[in-house]
Each structure stands twice: as structure tokens, then as C-alpha cells.
């Protein structure tokens, strides 16, 4: 594994990886282009500080968020 990578973030919905990135801010920006009703960067940052995985819902769709490293 590349030693320079300190974090990996992923958002999964319907058993499919929607967004995957090594930078949280870039991942949130990518997700917001796909889902404009999404939360902002600060919300994701605070949520990942609390725990490495969590679930949130937009409409009827569940999104599973993971910090893998």
C-alpha cells in the first residue's frame, strides 16, 4: 500500500460505491455534484471525527459513509 495515503473515504448506496477519494473535502465536493441536497463538508468532518462509519438518509435513499484507513 502507498505509505503517503493517510485516509480513504467512501460513500455507498444500493451496494454500489458512489464516491471514493483519499481527501475528505474532495469526496464531499464530488458527492455534492451527484446529490445537491447533501450535507456540507463541516457536517461530514464532524461525523467522521465521532466514528469511522455512519449512515444518513436523503429522501428514501440510505447512504453509508466509511473512513477505511
**Edge-to-edge strand list for the sheet holding 61-67:** 16-21, 9-13, 61-67, 53-58
Residue 43 lies in a domain: yes
Residue 3 lies in a domain: no
Residue 46 lies in a domain: yes
> For residue range 9-65, what is the model confidence (pLDDT) as tens digits?
999 999 999 999 999 999 999 999 999 999 999 999 999 999 999 999 999 999 999
59 φψ region: left (φ > 0), alpha (ψ -120 to 50), beta (else) = left
Residue 39 lies in a domain: yes
Residue 2 lies in a domain: no
What global pTM score does this model have?
0.90
> Which of 56, 36, 35, 33 is CA-nearest to residue 46?
56
Range of the structural domain that residue 32 is part of: 9-67
Amino acid at each position: 500500500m502507498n505509505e503517503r495515503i493517510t485516509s480513504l473515504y467512501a460513500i455507498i448506496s444500493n451496494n454500489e460505491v458512489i464516491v471514493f477519494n483519499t481527501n475528505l473535502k474532495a469526496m464531499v465536493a464530488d458527492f455534492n455534484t451527484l446529490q445537491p441536497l447533501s450535507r456540507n463538508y463541516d457536517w461530514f468532518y464532524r461525523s467522521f471525527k465521532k466514528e469511522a462509519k455512519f449512515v444518513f438518509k436523503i429522501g428514501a435513499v440510505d447512504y453509508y459513509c466509511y473512513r477505511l484507513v
